[in-house]
Amino acid sequence: MRLSRFFLPILKETPKEAEIVSHRLMLRAGMIRQQSAGIYSWLPLGFRVLRKIEKIVEEEQNRAGAVQLLMPTIQSADLWRESGRYDAYGKEMLRIEDRHEREMLFGPTNEEMITDIFRGYVRSYKDLPLNLYHIQWKFRDEVRPRFGIMRGREFLMKDAYSFDIDKEAARHAYNRMFVAYLRTFARMGLKAIPMRADTGPIGGDMSHEFIILAATGESAVFCDKSLLDMATPGLDTDFASDLTPIVDSWTTPYAATEEMHDEAAFNAIPEDARVSARGIEVGHIFYFGTKYSEPMGAKVMTSEGTEVPVHMGSYGVGVSRLMGALIEASHDEEGIIWPASVAPFHVGLINLKPGDAETDQACEALYQRFENAGIEVLYDDADTRAGAKFATMDLIGLPFQLIAGPRGLKDGVVEVKERATGARETLTVEAAFNKIRDALTS
Ligand code: 5CA
């Protein structure tokens, strides 16, 4: 992508309304724009990151055996009356009336709708286990939308729903999502800690929140330090196998959110292993048995020929919130530092002297080579000051910068800067290309 043809509305001033660094940086880097309280447009740079996050979430959901579909944002109130949640959900639900005076709502979550789909088709234990998910916009009329997209009113969520014949099978479905979540967040370079959590309006008796430790996190959390160094389950994880040992290893050390905190249990661990911090909830998984299937009549035939309500769980990932969490976890004074897996582009190619024939030619050739190699490059071909170019590249945080100017090119060299470390190297054009390509494909 050529910067001259891209839409990257960088803000010079630090926006006053933004209280936390991720919100400030997303506004300054032209990634999002607030349209109403807690409702944002995703500008091209932000949208690219959102898609990358979605893709990782999708790949890991698919790997764990979940099947993707897409449900609408608008739901009928009648469906929610069946579960009893229409009135219970309160003011957080955005209620709408259509032209026929039918009561509708903008979905804050989809337990009812997925249960309706399930009961419409599935009759037998032979069709289980089943886990269906989608990535769709949700609306919750939060009392205090804040911190930008971190606590929005409209936000993008991945929500999966599992259906099993009994509690034991449902536990396996829960474990699969638990492990998929560990992998998902690790692939984004995040350390997410599963913590025992309250179930709130979703319900159920078993639940974990996946928490990123960050000073600006909204919740107080408590955990054992050992969880910070646990190894993530690898690519070779067999999701059909018994995942209990993995889940046990992650749930045995103490970890709980404020609502579930047990001071005595926490104090029983050695003082130097106690972590009391703040955290950002990027995922939340629930097992709630027959809470929805029973009232909504989602039943299946067992192998013995009896009919039973199906056991369910639901599993959410805050896809849009993750972008804020990623920035909170990885930035410096100059701006964002994206991990390569979610970076909007991999390389920023800086032409220090557009209009200079030799520099233009070298940059064009590099631009094409990167594109042909499947490496996403943002080519700053704009006629602006070098200082402004560097500041913009640092702000938007692409993993590598390749800086080319007439002086270096006279000697056949360019500069490569690694955003995360700030390390700079002067290399031949060939060596610079190879270095970046190898680093991104290793
Ligand atoms: N149906 C269940 C799981 S599928 C559910 O709705 N769970 S939830 O309420 O915990 O939300 C799932 C995830 O969405 C949360 O872990 C959080 O990361 C994200 N989320 C929730 N509310 C917001 C919000 N207002 N803004 C941004 N992300 C949010």
In 3D, which of 253, 184, 247, 195 has the Cα closest to residue 220? 195
> What pLDDT score does 245 carry?
97
Alpha carbon distance 284, 207 (integer Å): 7
- Which residues fall within 8 angstroms of residue 45, CB to CB, at 6 or more apart? 8, 29, 30, 31, 344, 396
Ligand 1 lined by 316 (C-beta under 6 Å) = yes
Among 185, 284, 326, which residue has the most ligand 1 atoms within 8 Å of its CB, making it the best to mutate?
A: 284
Ligand 1 lined by 141 (C-beta under 6 Å) = no
Which tokens in the block code for residue 149? 């997209």
Alpha carbon distance 376, 347 (integer Å): 6
Residue nearest to atom 21 of ligand 1 (CA): 318
Residue nearest to atom 2 of ligand 1 (CA): 316
Ligand 1 lined by 279 (C-beta under 6 Å) = no
Ligand 1 lined by 437 (C-beta under 6 Å) = no
| C-beta separation of 341 from 189 below 8 A | yes
Ligand 1 lined by 154 (C-beta under 6 Å) = no
Give me ligand 1 centre to Cα 92, in Å: 13
Please provide the average confidence, as pLDDT, over all residues in the chain: 97
Which tokens in the block code for residue 176? 């699969």
CA of 201, closest atom in ligand 1: 9
Ligand 1 lined by 157 (C-beta under 6 Å) = yes
Give me ligand 1 centre to Cα 109, in Å: 8
In 3D, which of 351, 358, 361 has the Cα closest to residue 390? 351
Report the 3 state secondary structure along 143-177.
CCCECHHHECCEEEEEEEEEEECCHHHHHHHHHHH
Mean pLDDT of 385-393: 97
Distance between start and end Cα atoms, the chain: 23
Ligand 1 lined by 138 (C-beta under 6 Å) = no
> What pLDDT score does 280 carry?
97
| C-beta separation of 348 from 400 below 8 A | yes
Which tops the pLDDT comparison, 14 or 341?
A: 341
Give the rounded percent of residues in the chain with a pLDDT score beyond 70. 100
Amino acid letter, 372? N
Alpha carbon distance 440, 11 (integer Å): 29
CA of 153, closest atom in ligand 1: 25
Mean pLDDT of 113-120: 98
**228-268 per-position pLDDT tens digit:** 999 999 999 999 999 999 999 999 999 999 999 999 999 99
- Which residue is associated with the tokens 């740079």? 45
Mean pLDDT of 386-403: 98
Q: Is the pLDDT of residue 386 over 80?
A: yes
Give the angle subtended at the CA of 215 by the CAs of 214 and 219, to the nearest 5°.
80
> What pLDDT score does 203 carry?
78
- Which residue is associated with the tokens 């929005």? 152
**272-318 per-position pLDDT tens digit:** 999 999 999 999 999 999 999 999 999 999 999 999 999 999 999 99
- Which residues fall within 8 angstroms of residue 48, CB to CB, at 6 or more apart? 344, 345
Q: Is the pLDDT of residue 205 over 80?
A: no
Mean pLDDT of 108-125: 98
- Which residue is associated with the tokens 């909204």? 218
**76-107 per-position pLDDT tens digit:** 999 999 999 999 999 999 999 999 999 999 99
Q: Is 58 helix (H, G, I), strand (E, B) or coil?
A: helix
Asked if omega into 399 is within 30° of 0 (cis), the reply is no
The alpha carbon torsion through 423, 397, 317, 23 (nearest 10 deg) reads 130
Give me ligand 1 centre to Cα 180, in Å: 17
Cα distances from 140 to residues 8, 37, 73, 105, 321, in angstroms, run 29, 12, 12, 10, 14
Neighbouring CB atoms inside 10 A of 231's CB total 9
CA of 142, closest atom in ligand 1: 25
> What pLDDT score does 3 carry?
98
Q: Is the pLDDT of residue 433 over 90?
A: yes
Give me ligand 1 centre to Cα 351, in Å: 42
Which residues share a beta bridge with 274? 224
Ligand 1 lined by 284 (C-beta under 6 Å) = yes
| C-beta separation of 369 from 318 below 8 A | no
> What pLDDT score does 60 carry?
98
Instruction: Kindly indicate the confidence band of residue 201, based on its pLDDT and cuts at 50, 70 and 90.
Output: confident
Q: Which residues of 237-250 are buried (b: 16+ CB within 10 A; e: fewer)?
A: bebeeebeebbeeb
Residue nearest to atom 5 of ligand 1 (CA): 316
Ligand 1 lined by 38 (C-beta under 6 Å) = no
- Which residues fall within 8 angstroms of residue 420, CB to CB, at 6 or more apart? 337, 399
